[in-house]
A and B are shown apart, each in its own frame.
Chain A
């Protein structure tokens, strides 16, 4: 799964390199960056935890808990200590990776799809289509994230991973749509688009073959940076108590529990906080280096 995130340049080098060397160039740049390999490494570990938690712990989620050991501090036997329910904290923190990674990727993919479709339509057709989509974007853009999400989430009787994904997509598609629209506007008046139209290409073909590949790079970068932001936002909602619910295990939920005890038991705060920050940080750094690699002006 990390391949899908860490290496789109590699993945897309083959088909696109025939048309231009942007992505190939970018890959050459990327290979030389320490930051790239460092964040790819952290993300590989995080994704492995999300997909195969069994590699890291023999316990199941919420398994082998004993309230007598509640909040016992880290020791040699249990290097992360125990959580409020007396579960071994290391395995609980490992299981926390899955919802974060899954929601971060799912929300970004769905938002990206919405942004591509709406941005193409608004930028290409202009007129009332553009007006409608742009005003709609403005409306959703104006909703404050935490408050808007809370209002929607309270309405769900049970909040699982897909409910969270839905809400985060609902509030998260606007920025990418705006960027996509701007890109399409910039690309649509170029000579090669006119040439294609002159040769009799239809709207759909022009959008798919000529505009999309040339407009996608900045949107793609924002999408990569977005994964980290979504993970952080999801954890914030969990922490506020309006996100995922027990028996789901997530870093945000662990931090929600930790808030009542962190003065005496800082380990409850430190470990999920550390894992969460490392994951978000890696996605952001990855987005940063990919942007540097794709933007020739920064070289």
Chain B
């Protein structure tokens, strides 16, 4: 087990550097000088320009810039924006908003998704099953921003169930955005859980249990539900990173002052440090959650062991 974790952590290293370097290189390759863009129409004195280039390492070759950046990152320094604000400070408030949003959506996915999937699987072919299947296909197909605006008009404006803009409180301001952000995941989890449970209910060990006279409730609860959740857990692991990143769109719709909004502005201002900082953290979250998921497999299905 310990050995497995170490190997996995070592495998993460090239992926982490590769992804962050790729993003860094792409931001670096953006045309135009960000310092000049910052100054607007007035030409900057060359001395100021050079000093700023120097301060932000803009004249170094790409790989040196990246090296300096990663060096700082490993010491917990996310760098600073072109206006001199430390990126860590800029992002710290916004992280909490995005994290609250993503976690709420994640809980929705887990609870609503699994519940819908299990109910549909147990009543296979019935009305509920048909509704779940049809509804989830529809939810998966509708682009999240169309769904978001529609939900905002109907549930927020016309029915007045939710505030239509951010009021800063959890859960009030987060429920509708989280439902919208998590809608795709809820639908996907429901379908995964349904398919997986149906398949497992046909397994030999279920037939054995049935013929031994084990109660249906116990067959489902003890024999099948736990191992049916493996694909769901895999998906939920991958999806946490997606939720954090997908928050760009949802935060835009509901005006949540989260990280997505910030990154989006920063990309347009060519604030490379902010963009790379956020993406690096997202990639890190994504990799660690995936490792956690792999370790969870062993708990969910004793047949899987990491030696």
Judge: A and B partners, yes or no. yes
A215 partner residues in chain B, CB cutoff 8 A: none
Interface contact A147-B149, CB-CB below 8 Å: no
Tell me the complex Cα distance, A139–B140, Å: 26
Tell me the complex Cα distance, A19–B183, Å: 43
Shortest Cβ distance from residue B55 to the other chain A in the assembled complex, whole angstroms: 23
Contact of A236 with B137 at beta-carbon distance under 8 Å, contacts A142-B15, A145-B245, A259-B149 already known: no
CB contact between A228 and one of B141, B253, B279 (< 8 Å): that residue: B141
CB contact between B246 and one of A146, A155, A259 (< 8 Å): that residue: A146
Interface contact B143-A155, CB-CB below 8 Å: no
- Asked if A24 is at the interface of the complex by the 8 Å CB criterion, the answer is no
Contact of A151 with B146 at beta-carbon distance under 8 Å, contacts A135-B18, A240-B249, A288-B137 already known: no
Interface contact B248-A277, CB-CB below 8 Å: no
Q: Per-residue 0/1 for B231-254: is the Cβ within 8 Å of any A Cβ (1 yes, 0 no)?
A: 000000000011011101100110
Interface contact A139-B18, CB-CB below 8 Å: yes
Contact of A135 with B267 at beta-carbon distance under 8 Å, contacts A146-B245, A240-B252 already known: no
Seed contacts A150-B248, A151-B27; 13 additional CB < 8 Å A-B pairs: A140-B22, A143-B19, A143-B22, A143-B283, A144-B241, A145-B242, A147-B263, A147-B275, A147-B278, A154-B270, A232-B143, A236-B145, A240-B249
CB contact between B287 and one of A142, A144, A266, A285 (< 8 Å): that residue: A142
B199 partner residues in chain A, CB cutoff 8 A: 297
Q: Per-residue 0/1 for A192-226: is the Cβ within 8 Å of any B Cβ (1 yes, 0 no)?
A: 00000000000000000000000000000000000
Interface contact A281-B146, CB-CB below 8 Å: no
- Asked if B31 is at the interface of the complex by the 8 Å CB criterion, the answer is yes
Q: Per-residue 0/1 for B245-269: is the Cβ within 8 Å of any A Cβ (1 yes, 0 no)?
A: 1101100110000000001100110
Interface contact A276-B18, CB-CB below 8 Å: no
Number of A-B contacts (CB under 8 A): 123
- Asked if B150 is at the interface of the complex by the 8 Å CB criterion, the answer is yes
* B contact residues, total (Cβ < 8 Å): 46
**Could you show 16 A-B contacts with beta carbons less than 8 Å apart?**
A138-B15, A142-B283, A143-B19, A143-B279, A150-B264, A151-B26, A152-B26, A154-B268, A157-B31, A235-B143, A236-B145, A239-B143, A239-B249, A240-B252, A280-B143, A284-B141
- Asked if A269 is at the interface of the complex by the 8 Å CB criterion, the answer is yes
A255 partner residues in chain B, CB cutoff 8 A: 145-146
- Minimum CB distance partner of A273 in chain B: B146
A281 partner residues in chain B, CB cutoff 8 A: 137-138, 141-142
Query: Which of chain A's residues 249-299 have a Cβ closer than 8 Å to chain B?
Result: 255, 258-259, 262-263, 266, 269, 273, 276-277, 280-281, 284-285, 288, 297
User: Would you list the 8 A-B pairs with minimal beta carbon distance, nearest first?
Assistant: A144-B245, A281-B141, A139-B18, A273-B146, A280-B141, A142-B19, A138-B15, A277-B142
- Asked if A74 is at the interface of the complex by the 8 Å CB criterion, the answer is no
B157 partner residues in chain A, CB cutoff 8 A: 263
Query: Which of chain B's residues 192-249 have a Cβ closer than 8 Å to chain A?
Result: 199, 241-242, 244-246, 248-249
Shortest Cβ distance from residue B301 to the other chain A in the assembled complex, whole angstroms: 19
